[in-house]
């Protein structure tokens, strides 16, 4: 109990400080962003924070870095409360406090716990009760980041976002579904980042999200190797914070050449948005947080689909997450 109170106090202090820095960035975004990264790097203790902040520091060392354009644009066109809430939920709750809980529980129980969970969802099989229940279980395990891929956005999904206010939610969908579902609410849901699938329709949707100061990104789906740099240049015209490349029917079993190419482009390209290959990034973060890689992806029926030849049939609708992870992700004895 005392430890939780201490963590809450620490988070409150950090949140207040970061909020003031975000406001200050409106007047001097370059200097204040460097100051914020430098201070965070000096105070960071966790493995992932140091890794991420070192990358951010190197990006901002060059005064001509194109990522300053991204910072300028985000500070001007994304709501401060959206940046602060989503940033604290993923940066502190997930990567700091949550990561510590995950490592402690993994050591205690000898099974792996992922830092994030990915759900594929459709409206027909969606159950608000089932997803609310599994996310509450995840939070108790230290998981504060949840990713939804929705071909059609379930009406009740936003109620989960509101209920689990300490979690960071990332929702991938196409422009038409967002326009018919979340477009008018997006800026009001502070712990949500919407990811719009690139298409002609995405241009209008991104313009509307931008005008409402919502936090949004863009994504491309690929099967064969895409023209990454060309697509990134097109994406930048829509002003996303991040641009994701998502592999069709990915088995999430490892990195691929697209991940390697996107990683290199992050350092060499001149345009503004930050490129990410989705499954490789999820695995990379987990490798830093934990000793063993653990990726959890559930299909529309609730079945775990990211286990290599285990023979186990696991489903969060009739099993707890702890039971699933213990069965499917035992720790490797070294």
pLDDT tens column, 230-265: 999 899 899 999 999 999 877 776 668 899 999 888
At residue 308, the pLDDT reads 52
Confidence of residue 149 (pLDDT cuts 50, 70, 90): very high
Bridging pattern class, strands 168-174 and 192-197? parallel
At residue 225, the pLDDT reads 81
Bridging pattern class, strands 242-247 and 145-150? unpaired
4: pLDDT strictly greater than 60: no
pTM for the whole thing? 0.88
Of the candidates 67, 75, 73, the residue with the CA atom closest to the CA atom of residue 22: 75
Query: How far from the centroid of its chain's Cα atoms is residue 170's Cα?
Result: 6
At residue 62, the pLDDT reads 59
Long-range contacts of 27-31 (CB under 8 A, 24+ apart): 29/68, 29/71, 29/72, 29/75, 30/63, 30/68, 30/71
């Amino acid at each position: 109990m005392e430890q939780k109170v201490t963590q809450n106090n620490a988070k409150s202090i950090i949140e207040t400080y970061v909020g003031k820095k975000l406001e200050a960035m409106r007047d001097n975004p370059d200097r204040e962003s460097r100051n914020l990264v430098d201070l965070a790097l000096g105070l960071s203790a966790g493995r992932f924070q140091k890794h991420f902040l070192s990358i951010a520091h190197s990006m901002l060392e060059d005064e001509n870095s194109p990522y300053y354009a991204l910072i300028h644009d985000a500070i001007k066109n994304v709501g401060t409360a959206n940046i602060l809430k989503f940033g604290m939920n993923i940066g502190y709750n997930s990567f700091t406090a949550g990561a510590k809980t995950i490592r402690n529980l993994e050591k205690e129980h000898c099974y792996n716990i992922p830092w994030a969970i990915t759900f594929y969802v459709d409206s027909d099989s969606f159950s608000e009760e089932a997803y609310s229940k599994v996310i509450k279980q995840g939070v108790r395990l230290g998981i504060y980041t949840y990713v939804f891929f929705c071909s059609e956005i379930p009406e009740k999904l936003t109620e989960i976002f509101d209920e689990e206010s300490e979690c960071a939610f990332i929702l991938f969908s196409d422009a038409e579904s967002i326009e018919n579902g979340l477009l008018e609410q997006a800026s009001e849901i502070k712990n949500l980042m919407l990811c719009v699938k690139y298409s002609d329709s995405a241009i209008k949707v991104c313009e509307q999200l931008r005008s409402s100061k919502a936090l949004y990104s863009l994504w491309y789906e690929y099967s064969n190797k895409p023209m990454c740099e060309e697509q990134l240049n097109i994406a930048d015209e829509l002003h996303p914070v991040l641009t994701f490349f998502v592999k069709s029917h990915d088995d999430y079993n490892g990195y691929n050449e697209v991940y390697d190419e996107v990683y290199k482009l992050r350092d060499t390209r001149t345009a503004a948005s930050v490129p990410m290959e989705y499954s490789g990034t999820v695995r990379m973060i987990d490798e830093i947080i934990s000793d063993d890689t653990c990726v959890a992806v559930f299909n529309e029926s609730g079945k775990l689909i990211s286990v290599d030849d285990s023979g186990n049939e696991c489903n969060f609708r009739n099993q707890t997450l702890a039971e699933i992870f213990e069965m499917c992700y035992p720790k490797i004895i070294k």
